[in-house]
A and B are shown apart, each in its own frame.
Chain A
Amino acid sequence: KQEVTQIPAALSVPEGENLVLNCSFTDSAIYNLQWFRQDPGKGLTSLLLIQSSQREQTSGRLNASLDKSSGRSTLYIAASQPGDSATYLCAVKGDNYGQNFVFGPGTRLSVLP
């Protein structure tokens, strides 16, 4: 059964720092991996989706990498801002046509002004 973990559980950094969030999964047979952010009282907003054949995806200050063989993905946030404060979740989709997504528990990020 696929299990997804995220380290660290919480992170607090001063504004302007570059940071890395980690996501690990136990079964490397994934179809894709998606990073989300969740703001308090809100739903999840999709940030980046990496297909299993891809190594990385970039959107603005965000860069997500995928190493499928080692079961790892990282989300790199450059020049962090207070507005980046949120919980970041990763989710993997299994290598099938079902709709089962497995989510990690999330990393709660606080960027201090």
Chain B
Amino acid sequence: EAQVTQNPRYLITVTGKKLTVTCSQNMNHEYMSWYRQDPGLGLRQIYYSMNVEVTDKGDVPEGYKVSRKEKRNFPLILESPSPNQTSLYFCASRSGRLNQPQHFGDGTRLSIL
């Protein structure tokens, strides 16, 4: 089954404790993205990647890092999480062919205390 898998689905942690949210897709997609979803602000793009070793900032990249060492994986790293990063996070992927839809994971709910 074609899917985007995120882990963990839920995480409660404390300020300053480094964490990584993993994202993996099995569709051989070139493009992958991370979004955060906040009430009243909607979905905002954090980082995206157009292929292996190619990443770029989205609208709200501050406080986040990403890497794309393999085509299927696109982890999101919070080096020193802060309470304002409490949010619902989504990973998405899509094919590099033109006008292809994005496929989303089920989301990761992060709470930073």
Q: Which B residues, 62 to 111, have Cβ-Cβ distances below 8 Å to chain A?
A: 90, 92, 99-107
| B-side contacts of A43, CB under 8 Å | 4, 90, 104-107
Nearest neighbor of A99 in chain B, beta-carbon distance:
B48
Contact A49:B99 (CB < 8 A) given known A44-B90, A100-B45, A105-B42: yes
| B-side contacts of A106, CB under 8 Å | 42
Count residues of chain B with CB under 8 A from any CB of chain A. Answer: 27
Nearest neighbor of B58 in chain A, beta-carbon distance:
A100
Question: A99's contact among B50, B103, B107, by CB below 8 Å, is which?
Answer: B50
| Main SS at interface, chain B | strand
| B-side contacts of A100, CB under 8 Å | 45, 48, 58-59
- B1 CB → nearest A CB, Å: 14
B102 touches A46 (CB 8 A): yes
Does B11 lie at the interface of the complex (its beta carbon under 8 Å from any beta carbon of A)?
no
- Mark each residue of chain A from 31 to 68: 1 if its CB lies under 8 Å from any CB of chain B, else 0: 11010100001111110010100000000000000000
Please give 18 more A-B residue pairs, beta carbons under 8 A apart, in addition to A44-B92, A99-B49. A31-B99, A41-B106, A43-B104, A43-B106, A44-B102, A46-B103, A89-B43, A91-B43, A98-B56, A99-B31, A99-B48, A99-B56, A99-B58, A100-B58, A100-B59, A101-B45, A103-B43, A103-B44
